[in-house]
């Protein structure tokens, strides 16, 4: 008979899939965000969660459940010392280029593949490469702050705004 786990719990569901749960450092019982096809997979996932807690790298999975549009608007308001023209530009980029795609998304759900599709959609809609690059830099700055605030892990956006403009064959 298998021994009891020292961290977390695993159980088989009626569907034959496996569910993993653990008590987070915040004292809340947390389920895995998905089920597993095997007990071994669920066990491995729990081992990784335990390692994150031990290293101090654990993040509350609910932290990134913040609306991007609202967070970005607040981000603009909280930037001290921005010139009025810069504030106007940021609001324009947010309203016209970022919020139509990302506005209703959760900050924690924004990933590189969706950003690449957004970029292509903007360029295909004849938005200038320079404007797309500026909007991208704003998106990246907002996500950097979200990571600094502990809402998300460091995001995986790897391009720089200048590279986006250069990639489109445009000098910025």
Q: 101 to each of 76, 96, 104, how far by Cα in Å?
A: 18, 10, 8
- How sure is the predictor about 78, in pLDDT bands with cuts at 50, 70 and 90? very high
Q: Which of 125, 132, 140 is nearest to 164 (CA)?
A: 132
Q: What angle do CA 30, 31, 33 make, to 5 degrees?
A: 120
Q: Can you give the pLDDT at residue 157?
A: 67
Q: Average of pLDDT values for 36-42?
A: 96
CATH number for 68-167 (one of 2.50.20.10, 3.40.50.20, 1.10.150.130, 1.10.150.570): it is 1.10.150.130
Q: Average of pLDDT values for 70-93?
A: 95
Q: Which of 143, 161, 140, 138 is nearest to 153 (CA)?
A: 143
Query: Is the distance from CB of 113 to CB of 96 less than 8 angstroms?
Result: no
Q: Reduced to 3 states, what is the DSSP secondary structure of residue 110?
A: coil
Of the two residues 113 and 5, the one the predictor is more confident about is 113
DSSP string, 52-85: HHHHT----TTTT-SBHHHHHHHHHHT-TT--HH
Q: What are phi and psi of 23, to 5 degrees?
A: -90, 120
Question: For a pLDDT cut of 70, what percent of the chain falls above it?
Answer: 88
Q: Can you give the pLDDT at residue 3?
A: 57
Residues 6 or more apart whose Cβ sits within 8 Å of residue 103: 67, 68, 69
Sheet of strand 9-12: strand arrangement? 9-12, 18-23, 29-31
**Confidence check: pLDDT of 164 > 90:** no
Q: Can you give the pLDDT at residue 170?
A: 36
Q: Average of pLDDT values for 109-118?
A: 92
The domain locations on the chain are: 9-55, 68-167
- How sure is the predictor about 84, in pLDDT bands with cuts at 50, 70 and 90? very high
Note the pTM of the prediction, 2 decimals. 0.71
**Confidence check: pLDDT of 159 > 60:** no
Q: What average pLDDT does the structure give for the chain?
A: 87
């Amino acid at each position: 008979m298998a021994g009891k786990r020292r961290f977390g719990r695993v159980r088989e569901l009626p569907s034959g899939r496996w569910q993993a749960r653990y008590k987070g450092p915040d004292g809340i019982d947390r389920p895995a965000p998905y089920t597993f096809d095997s007990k071994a997979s669920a066990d491995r996932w729990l081992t990784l969660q335990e390692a994150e807690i031990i290293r101090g790298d654990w993040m509350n999975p609910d932290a990134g459940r913040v609306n991007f549009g609202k967070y970005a608007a607040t981000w603009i308001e909280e930037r001290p010392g921005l010139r009025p023209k810069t504030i106007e530009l940021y609001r324009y980029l947010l309203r016209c280029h970022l919020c139509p795609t990302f506005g209703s998304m959760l900050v924690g759900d924004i990933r590189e593949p969706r950003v690449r599709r957004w970029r292509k959609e903007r360029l295909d809609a004849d938005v200038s490469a320079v404007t797309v690059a500026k909007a991208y830099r704003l998106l990246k700055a907002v996500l950097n702050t979200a990571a600094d605030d502990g809402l998300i892990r460091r995001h995986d956006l790897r391009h720089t705004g200048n590279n986006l403009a250069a990639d489109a064959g445009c000098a910025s």
